[in-house]
Amino acid sequence: MPETWPRPTYRQFVYRRTVLKLPLLVAAGTALAQTPRASAEPAPRSSGEITRWSADRANRWSQAQGWIVGANYITSNAINQLEMFQPATYDPRRIDTELGWARSAGLNSVRVFLHDQLWAQDARGFLLRLAQFVNIAARHRIKPLFVFFDSCWDPLPKLGPQRAPRPGVHNSGWVQSPGAEHLGDPGYARILQDYVTGVLTQFRNDDRVLGWDLWNEPDNPARVYSKVERKDKLQRVAELLPQVFLWARSAEPSQPLTSGVWRGDWGEPAGRSPISAMQLDNADVITFHSYAEPAAFESRIAELAPLGRPIICTEYMARPQGSTVEAVLPVAKRHNVGAFNWGLVAGKTQTYFPWDSWDHPYTAPPKVWFHDLLLPDGRPYRDSEIQAIRGLTGAQG
């Protein structure tokens, strides 16, 4: 979700009200109580300590999953992670509808961002909603990859009603987790630990969950929020990231842990930043981001392949830059690399605008969308993209 590039605005879509004819979903309490299917393989141990998965274990996990194709997903009526999962705005019917569209498009996974303040506000309520989300996704044969922390965009998240989107601006309301206020707070670190271990303990043996992305772009400075961004952010993140891996491993999840690299040279250890090195040295499954055209995308795979672990691109697709479904996804399949494009349904995040919209807000949607696969009513932005996904995954329309 790099924000060092531009992101555009757009005047509000005239959204048709979609009449959701779905039955009422199961009550959240029932969702949490439902017994998940357990993974057959226990977490590995070495000398009595929980360790990183071996490359062999990671590759066996990958073979069992098959080729992973997904989208980064937030409900179209939410501007950020808080609005998606807070009690007042959590919308299971919309989730059911939109994940149905995802499955129809040929996707088998979604990458979904969580937030520490949701846990701090009401841990049990948050777990109930999260369990219901997993149940809904499972009905559509969609496995979520959950993201715990994120260093992109607004460093001052606040619970409660979220602000309206800035007209014509890409991702104008996304928030960091943890925010600047809590990032360097030793007292709050206990809440962060409880958040990670609490969520993982609930789903540690649930094979309906694909995996755990511990920190999204941890070394991404929020350029457009530079006036309120912590000056010591990278230092604080570098201190916390290894702890997050340890917290997560202590829960002994049967799913893999990861954190995606997104910039720099990954081919040689000497060329990696300290944070990128932490990510690559601790991840069970290697993940990366690339919004580049196919040749550069393939070169990134070549940098990571010598690590001998499964590889997933957890963010791609910037159409004007040549990163498109039709161009990139066949490359990913050829190398058996999983791939998640950014954005499922166009909505309040406005990620169909480009990054440069932050500098020059748009007065109308661009002719060529930057991100997102579907219109607000579920129709494809481009039929050819959905046909390409279905053709590559063997999905039926």
* Beta partners for residue 70, in sequence order: 109, 340
In the structure encoding, which two tokens stand for residue 98, read together? Answer: 């939109």
In the structure encoding, which two tokens stand for residue 35, read together? Answer: 């017994």
Q: In whole angstroms, what is the distance from residue 60 CA to residue 117 CA?
A: 35
352: nearest Cα among 222, 99, 102, 171? 171
pLDDT of residue 209: 98
Q: What angle do CA 87, 93, 99 make, to 5 degrees?
A: 110
Q: In whole angstroms, what is the distance from residue 84 CA to residue 123 CA?
A: 16
Are 117 and 152 within 8 A, CB to CB?
no
Are 131 and 211 within 8 A, CB to CB?
no
Are 176 and 157 within 8 A, CB to CB?
yes
Query: For each of the chain's 397 residues, which pLDDT tens digit applies?
Result: 654 433 333 333 333 333 333 333 333 444 444 445 554 454 444 333 579 999 999 999 999 999 999 999 999 999 999 999 999 999 999 999 999 999 999 999 999 999 999 999 999 999 999 999 999 999 999 999 999 999 999 999 999 999 999 999 999 999 999 999 999 899 999 999 999 999 999 999 999 999 999 999 999 988 899 999 999 999 999 999 999 999 999 999 999 999 999 998 998 888 899 999 999 999 999 999 999 999 999 999 999 999 999 999 999 999 999 999 999 999 999 999 999 999 999 999 999 999 999 999 999 999 999 999 999 999 999 999 999 999 999 986 5
Whole-angstrom distance between the N-terminal and C-terminal Cα of the chain? 29
In the structure encoding, which two tokens stand for residue 18, read together? Answer: 């979609």
Are 357 and 87 within 8 A, CB to CB?
no
Burial environment of residue 397 by CB neighbours within 10 A (0 to 12, 13 to 18, 19 or more): exposed
